Amino acid sequence: ALVLSRGLIPLGITHEQRTLTATERKASKVQQGGVCSGLRCCSPHDPLTTLVPHHVRSWAKFGKTSIEETVWACERLHDAIHRGKTVPLRNGRWLDQHGWAEEPLVADW
């Protein structure tokens, strides 16, 4: 689905397939700087760091895929999210296994 503003400016694109298209993967990675989204997570210049796109909200529950709801995560960050940790991101937001989260009172990351 293409979401447009009143001025017909694209605000977002979603679809029901689980994975990003090749074009969406490239655009998302460029948009996020091509590095892990985790704050102070891993070295952004380490050539051995493998990044995977992670749905902010579970695809199994919500069934939507979009660039806006995707973060790029190294294995360490991705594992922490799936183990229930609340993690800080480079963009100032926080993320947990349920999606966008509030900053925790006690950081466990």
- Determine the Cα–Cα distance for residues 46 and 107; give it in Å rounded to an integer: 25
- Determine the Cα–Cα distance for residues 12 and 30; give it in Å rounded to an integer: 16
Q: What is the pTM of this model?
A: 0.75
Q: 94 — phi, psi (to 5°)?
A: -120, 150
Model confidence over 7-56: pLDDT tens digits? 765 556 666 677 778 888 888 888 888 899 999 888 767 778 889 999 89
The mean per-residue pLDDT over the stretch 55-60 comes to 82
- Determine the Cα–Cα distance for residues 107 and 97; give it in Å rounded to an integer: 15
From the number of C-beta atoms within 10 Å of its C-beta (0-12, 13-18, 19+), residue 5 rates as exposed
Contact 38, 59 (CB under 8 A): no
Instruction: Look at 85 and 7; give whichever has higher pLDDT.
Output: 85
